[in-house]
């Protein structure tokens, strides 16, 4: 049983044996190292830590450790940060997208969502459809959260007018024990009504506009299910709405900026 190293030193899944790999690594508290790239976007990492719940035999003895994954890009670079957003149209409706999420297909699904007085079966768009808010990785080329935020907004919804962006000052960690990822949430109040019904991003996304009441209803009835890409966005949006209603913005929590989005 063996793991074959790539030219960059990262192993691939060929007869992987975790015990052999760890037994050849010297344990040092705080040290972390990649074990294997398991797919186009997942890397498994071992983190040597005296607080670890698991123990294994390392080259210098038996010690505790933690294991988690990193998200990586097509070049094997760690995508350490991401953005999530709630785009708000001038009439108050919120833009959401239909993504394909195969892991959710392993659970019982409610596929019919309510919007615009109609019931829409999301399986029309694919077998693993999930209604979510836009968002994605902050790429190396983005350089800043705001740049990644605006790029993802345009790519996933086609929205491009001027707007006011409320963005959290601090990242959250959606999967605290299993993934090394920092995510920043934001709300953009768009000054124009334009958005595309379908975009080419992520293999093709369908875009819908829902009223806040429709979003509530679909959450309550189990039709919107994503925690990372829907519920956390929704919670942040509601905090921003509360601040706007009382006219006081907590600057320790959020930044506010007017931006112009330009079609590329």
H helix intervals, the chain? 18-23, 145-157, 212-220, 232-246
Domain count for the chain, please give it: 2
Please write the tens of the pLDDT for every residue from 75-90.
Answer: 889 999 999 999 999 9
Q: CA-to-CA distance for 15 and 3, rounded, in angstroms? A: 6
In this prediction, residue 83 carries a pLDDT of: 96
Q: Is residue 264 part of a domain?
A: no
Q: Is residue 94 part of a domain?
A: yes
Q: Does one domain contain both 195 and 237?
A: yes
Q: Does one domain contain both 106 and 195?
A: yes
In this prediction, residue 182 carries a pLDDT of: 96
Confidence of residue 6 (pLDDT cuts 50, 70, 90): very low
Confidence of residue 4 (pLDDT cuts 50, 70, 90): very low
Q: Is residue 76 part of a domain?
A: no
CB 223 within 8 A of CB 123: no
CB 46 within 8 A of CB 55: no
Using the 3D structure, point to which of 71, 97, 127 is the last residue of a domain.
Answer: 71
Q: Given strand 54-58, what is the order of strands in its sheet?
A: 4-5, 11-12, 32-37, 42-48, 61-71, 54-58
Q: Does one domain contain both 60 and 182?
A: no
- Closest to 263 measured CA to CA, from 199, 189, 185: 199
Using the 3D structure, point to which of 45, 71, 97 is the last residue of a domain.
Answer: 71
pLDDT greater at residue 245 or residue 140: 245
Q: Does one domain contain both 88 and 147?
A: yes
For 200, list phi and psi in degrees, rounded to 5: -90, -5
Q: Does one domain contain both 92 and 52?
A: no
Q: Does one domain contain both 45 and 139?
A: no
Q: Does one domain contain both 227 and 102?
A: yes
Q: Is residue 177 part of a domain?
A: yes
Q: Is 179 helix (H, G, I), strand (E, B) or coil?
A: strand
Q: Does one domain contain both 114 and 47?
A: no
pLDDT at 67 over 60: yes
Which structural domain, as residue segments, surrounds residue 248?
A: 81-259
Using the 3D structure, point to which of 71, 99, 117 is the last residue of a domain.
Answer: 71
Q: Give the mean model confidence (pLDDT) for residues 223-247.
A: 96
Q: Does one domain contain both 100 and 225?
A: yes
Angle at alpha carbon of residue 175, lines to 205 and 107, rounded to 5°? 60
What CATH number is given to the structural domain containing 242? 3.90.79.10
Q: Does one domain contain both 38 and 164?
A: no
Q: CA-to-CA distance for 19 and 170, rounded, in angstroms? A: 37
Question: The pTM is what?
Answer: 0.90
Please write the tens of the pLDDT for every residue from 250-261.
Answer: 999 999 999 875
Q: Is residue 92 part of a domain?
A: yes
Q: CA-to-CA distance for 220 and 88, rounded, in angstroms? A: 21
The total of other beta-carbon atoms located within 10 Å of residue 114's CB is 15
Q: Does one domain contain both 88 and 188?
A: yes
Q: Does one domain contain both 132 and 216?
A: yes
Q: Give the mean model confidence (pLDDT) for residues 182-196.
A: 95
Q: Give the mean model confidence (pLDDT) for residues 22-34.
A: 96
Q: CA-to-CA distance for 191 and 214, rounded, in angstroms? A: 22
């Amino acid at each position: 049983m063996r793991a074959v190293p790539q030219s960059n030193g990262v192993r691939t899944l060929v007869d992987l044996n975790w015990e052999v790999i760890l037994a050849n690594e010297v344990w040092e508290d705080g040290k972390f190292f990649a074990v294997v790239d398991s797919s186009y976007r997942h890397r498994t990492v071992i983190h040597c830590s005296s607080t670890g719940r698991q123990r294994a035999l390392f080259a210098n003895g038996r010690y505790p450790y933690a294991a988690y994954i990193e998200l990586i890009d097509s070049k094997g670079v760690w995508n350490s940060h991401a953005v999530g957003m709630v785009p708000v149209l001038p009439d108050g409706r919120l833009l959401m997208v239909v993504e394909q999420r195969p892991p959710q297909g392993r659970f019982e699904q409610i596929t019919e969502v309510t919007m615009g007085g109609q019931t829409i079966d999301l399986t029309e768009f694919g077998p693993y459809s999930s209604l979510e808010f836009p968002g994605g990785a902050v790429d190396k080329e983005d350089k800043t959260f705001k740049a990644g935020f605006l790029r993802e907004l345009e790519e996933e919804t086609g929205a491009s007018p001027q707007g006011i962006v409320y963005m959290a000052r601090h990242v959250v960690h959606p999967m605290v024990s299993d993934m090394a990822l920092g995510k920043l949430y934001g709300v953009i109040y768009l000054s124009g009504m334009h958005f595309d019904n379908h975009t080419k991003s992520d293999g093709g996304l369908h875009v819908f506009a829902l009223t806040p009441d429709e979003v509530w209803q679909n959450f309550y009835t189990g039709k919107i299910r994503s925690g990372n890409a829907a519920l956390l966005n929704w919670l942040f949006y509601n905090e921003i709405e509360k601040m706007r209603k009382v006219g006081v913005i907590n600057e320790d929590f959020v930044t506010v900026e007017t931006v112009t989005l330009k079609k590329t």
